[in-house]
Chains A and B, each alone.
Chain A
């Protein structure tokens, strides 16, 4: 076989990627995500005004000075939407990190060990899972009180069972595969089998759940703040702005509602597209079959 140059391989990879719809899906999703991440990271530089200060008259309709208008307290909606990305993404990432950090190891161990330990853990997780997500998050958030970490924790509790279940079931099926037995025949230790043979085989399913959960977490966070259980008020937050904006829709101030809403929709869409595409890209066997 002829040796290939790196550039040639890269070219093939890219043409592979965009030869199918999957590539475009991932690409557009990634673009949206990068856009919001840039907004979140550089919000002080991008936002035209301080989001918590009164900068104009209350409920100014979108104009040259305030592109997205101002809210009832005269704050710039555009700046608040930009700063809102910060809170939304931060909470989503922290929540998903906690959920995955707890759910994945527990799932791995539970599936691998099996027996009574597995049964008890599965029972607990199923109990958590049986609550409607938002209701459970509301209950926990109400107990913990406002704050970035508290909100993240209450969302994480809702999503931990998802990781646990996905991982546990996969591990339980992968551990009876022949290559796991082969590893045992080689004399591999249990944790080596778990980390080198089982974990890589269940990883693709985590990645998908991960990016889908990010989208879900943003919605849950928005839902919590919409209900007044999120971040304490002056901090810009899409969910809170949404609920604040809807009070003035009857005064024909549609902008306070529309722009945070669009932000939520697009970021969730971006995550969903990205996760969908990632799912197929990361799994070499699925890609090979095409």
Chain B
């Protein structure tokens, strides 16, 4: 249903006046550097990686909240990158986003009910104001904010973080989108609320038959919701495959490291931890060859010069010279 082809986003680095005068070439942060993947209908695709790996940028690019530098995004055979401003605006009811920070994602001067209703008004769903209000009330009830009358007229600062995130979810889903990007949707919430919201997302996904792009740095949560995951490192996808397979047998050294870092609930089971050394390299000046080689325990000579392409290994795609 969704096909991303060679998507790129380069952010130019601001040059100082001195650098412009000295003709220092314009440098770019390659936030997303040529990624491709597909998400089938009803699937939940988990995009995982460290902070700074370009996950969030990918999510925003897919909704065209920021313009890609290059690449194509097909949504049911419509190339989203080619839509005009007005077409895109109308098309937006097909895909929605749930943001990470529920406080910042809601207008502090708008009652939460109105915030949800605004989407209906924009896309002219439900004929009258009364009808729209009824739809909002139903949606509030659906995200377990009941009685809905109590919440409709409140301002965002009057409700808790978990409730706000439910509002954000309601606002995204009331348009009955087909595709939803959940950008670290539960990362900022209390642990106790997190599992409830994760369950809510799973329920809503089944109910509305949604396709999800689930962006997270926390592999443990992908376990509950994702069918397929893609692992990102410095703007590149290093491994894509079925969740079970990758989780049980990670092949790329970076994926191995990520999975070994997932906390084990059973303290008796000792896991070998493979935490990569050092920090994520500066994306303005990434290492040549495989971007992971300075931190990779299995690095070979070829890794330092040749950048590995994604290739199929055991039914999944991996970008590594080991295979």
A residues with a Cβ closer than 8 A to B are: 1, 177-179, 181-189, 192, 196-197, 200-201, 203, 284-285, 288
Contact = CB atoms under 8 A, between A and B. Distances in A.
A192 B106 contact: no
A166 B104 CA distance: 22
Interface string B49-80: 00000000000000101000000000000000
B68 to A, nearest CB: 16
B118 A188 contact: yes
Interface in B182-230: none
Nearest to A184: B65
B101 interface: yes
Given A181-B65, A185-B63, A196-B118, A285 B157 contact: yes
B112 to A, nearest CB: 12
Nearest to B91: A187
A184 B123 CA distance: 13
Interface string B103-140: 01111111000000011001100000000000000000
17 contacts: A1-B150, A177-B104, A179-B105, A181-B65, A182-B97, A182-B105, A182-B106, A182-B168, A186-B171, A186-B175, A188-B89, A196-B118, A200-B109, A203-B109, A284-B108, A284-B155, A284-B157
A228 to B, nearest CB: 46
B122 A178 contact: no
A186 B92 contact: yes
- What are the 8 closest A-B residue pairs judged by CB atoms, nearest first? A187-B92, A200-B109, A178-B104, A179-B107, A186-B119, A187-B89, A178-B105, A182-B105
Contact of A187 (B109, B110, B123, B157): B123
B118 A186 contact: yes
B165 interface: no
Given A179-B105, A186-B122, 18 more contacts: A178-B101, A178-B105, A179-B108, A182-B106, A182-B168, A183-B118, A185-B65, A185-B97, A186-B96, A187-B89, A187-B93, A187-B119, A187-B122, A188-B122, A197-B110, A200-B107, A200-B109, A285-B157
Contacts of A285: 108, 157
A132 B101 CA distance: 45
Contacts of B119: 186-187
A76 to B, nearest CB: 49
A197 B110 CA distance: 8
B90 interface: yes
B215 to A, nearest CB: 14
B110 A185 contact: no
B243 interface: no
A285 B101 CA distance: 17
B99 interface: yes
A200 B110 contact: yes
Contact of B108 (A183, A184, A201): A201
Given A186-B175, A196-B118, A179 B150 contact: no
A167 to B, nearest CB: 15
A288 to B, nearest CB: 6
A203 to B, nearest CB: 8
B105 A288 contact: no
Residue of B99, B107, B155, B175 most packed against chain A (CB within 10 A): B107
A39 to B, nearest CB: 35
B200 to A, nearest CB: 19
Contacts of B118: 183, 186, 188, 196
A200 B118 CA distance: 15
B57 to A, nearest CB: 13
A192 B104 contact: no
A185 B63 CA distance: 7
A9 to B, nearest CB: 12
A181 B60 CA distance: 10
A185 B172 CA distance: 9
A179 B106 CA distance: 5
A245 to B, nearest CB: 48
A197 B99 CA distance: 17
A185 B89 contact: no
Residue of A179, A188, A196, A203 most packed against chain B (CB within 10 A): A179
Contacts of A183: 107, 118
B65 to A, nearest CB: 6
Contacts of A178: 99, 101, 104-105
A201 B109 contact: yes
A185 B96 contact: yes
Contacts of A187: 89-93, 119, 122-123
B170 to A, nearest CB: 12
A185 B92 contact: yes
A186 B118 CA distance: 8
Nearest to A187: B92
Contacts of B63: 185
A105 B109 CA distance: 19
Contacts of A197: 107, 110
B113 to A, nearest CB: 14
Nearest to B108: A285
A154 B21 CA distance: 44
